[in-house]
Amino acid sequence: MIESFRNIFAIPDLRKRLTFTFLMLAVYRVGCFIPTPGVDPQALLEFMKLTEGTFLGFVNTFTGGSLSRVAVFALGIMPYITASIILQLLTVVWPYLEKLSKEGELGRRKITQYTRYGTVLISSVQSLGIAIFLERTSTPGGASLVPHPGWGFRLMTMITLTTGCVFVMWLGEQITERGIGNGISLIIFAGIVVGLPNAIVDTFAKLQTGALSIVVVLILIVFMVLVTAFIVYMERAQRRIPVQYAKRVMGRKVYGGQSTYLPLRVNTGGVIPVIFASSVVMVPTTLASFWPESALAVGIADHISWGQPLYYLLEVVAIVFFSFFYVSIIFNPVDLAENMRKYGGFIPGIRTGKRTSEYIDSVLTRITTVGALYLAAVTVLPEFLLTGIKLDGLPVIGPALDSFVPSFVTTGLGINFYFGGTSLLIIVGVAMDFLQQVESQLVMRNYEGFMKRGRIRGRR
């Protein structure tokens, strides 16, 4: 392992890429500490302490803590992800975008350009919502978060946060192009990882004060290790479909005749469905914040708030939907079966052509179902540990269930969500992808990789 790390810095190109990646992530972290003008920092700090353990605190994790400071990078990369979701959905229903997606590199560049425009529009709307929310919010002591509200503050906040979001988007694209790994995923990864030390310190502080017992902490550590091992196992799991290529004689040479396999990953989409689903579930609460005086908007926001049964249901449905949707975009069984037929390949016992595509589609549907349920289970877990399930929000049977089940089911265990779920899924997934990228760079240059036996398989 030490020799492998030494080889990384022995390759000039790889060393430059790693240095560039870390520098860009450092720039991102600096921007997370630059505050937006016009906000009272002391009043904001007092207010954000009240949001710990809530949905707002959960969202704050993905921005690296910049949302709690209303920093210039407070929006993070989420508007870009939301714009990507919208463009991918429109690709299916809008013939113009569908045509662009099939035009190769030129079409993808055009779609990327539209995604950037959408990012600017979404970040402008979200920054205006944040400005209005800050103006209408005060601390428990009555201090206003914005000493001088008005359109001057709103426009300044819109310009600042939108510019910061566009700059973060540019950082992610630069890391992808000139660094190592997927820049967008690494930015989210960096935002989550920086909060882990505080989560560990907070857990041990609760242990010293008696808020958590030593037995609970030990169970927590074992549970964290098991969840991590389960995530690694599922991220590397795949279904191998055997493929046989017939022999072909071209001139004096014989081609084909070998046996291989088609690897279908159980979790083909990686963490993308989880990120997409998180963005979609945030939409109703965000829209309701624009009309705080409306009883209908407040009622909808309450029923879809963090910990409510409807929130869990929407999150699970969104994860399952985006798992299948993402796989349908990046994987076409008909094209795959046609390419196999052109090169003389076939699946033993399955006719080539339509039968092959139907077989691949059926296998892909089954393993994607398993992968989607795995993502949903790992995502819902930390939210349950932190806040439980508010069963009293269910109509008719809610109060009866609330009085029947144990208290920890409805109130949670108060355990910080850093130790499982979405954040751990992103950390493990992005780390595996990053190591796979470095591994491929080492092997390509005839260096020994991290693994002596086998290779690290990428997430996508």
Of the candidates 282, 261, 265, 224, the one whose C-alpha atom is nearest the C-alpha of residue 427 is 224
**How far is residue 240's CA from residue 264's CA, in Å, rounded to a whole number?**
6
Same domain, 173 and 242: no
Both 14 and 84 in one domain: the answer is yes
**What single-letter DSSP state applies at residue 35?**
B
CB of 346 closer than 8 Å to CB of 336: no
Query: Given this model, what pLDDT does residue 418 score?
Result: 54
Rg (CA), the chain: 25
Full domain range(s) for residue 315: 237-420
Q: Does some domain include residue 435? A: no
**Whether 160 and 274 share a structural domain:** no
pLDDT along the chain (460 residues), means of 10: 68 84 89 82 72 58 66 83 81 80 80 90 87 78 78 89 91 88 83 77 78 76 81 86 75 67 84 78 68 67 74 87 84 83 82 87 91 87 72 68 68 58 77 80 65 50
Do 298 and 185 share a structural domain?
Answer: no
Length of the chain: 460
Closest by CA to 315, choosing from 380, 235, 226, 268, is: 380
Is 57 inside a domain boundary?
A: yes
Same domain? 161 vs 70: yes
Q: How many CB atoms sit inside 10 A of residue 41's CB?
A: 11
Last residue of a domain, one of 169, 194, 219: 194
CA distance 386 to 149: 35
Asked if residue 348 is part of any domain, the answer here is yes
Which CATH number do you get for residue 107?
1.10.3370.10
Sequence-separated (6 or more) residues with CB below 8 Å from residue 143: 40, 42, 43, 46
pTM, entire model: 0.73
Residue 342 to residue 353: CA distance in whole angstroms:
10
Residues 166, 8 contacting (CB under 8 angstroms): no
Beta-carbon contacts of 262 under 8 Å, excluding residues fewer than 6 positions away, are 240, 241, 242, 243, 336, 347, 360
In a domain, 148, yes or no: yes
Using DSSP's 3-state secondary structure scheme, residue 144 falls into strand
Residue 460 lies in a domain: no
Q: How many domains does the chain have?
A: 2
Q: What is the pLDDT of residue 253?
A: 67
| CB contact set of 454 (below 8 Å; sequence gap of 6+) | none
Which pLDDT score, from 0 to 100, does residue 52 have? 58
Residues 6 or more apart whose Cβ sits within 8 Å of residue 260: 242, 243, 245
Q: What is the pLDDT of residue 459?
A: 44
Cβ 385 vs Cβ 411: under 8 Å: no
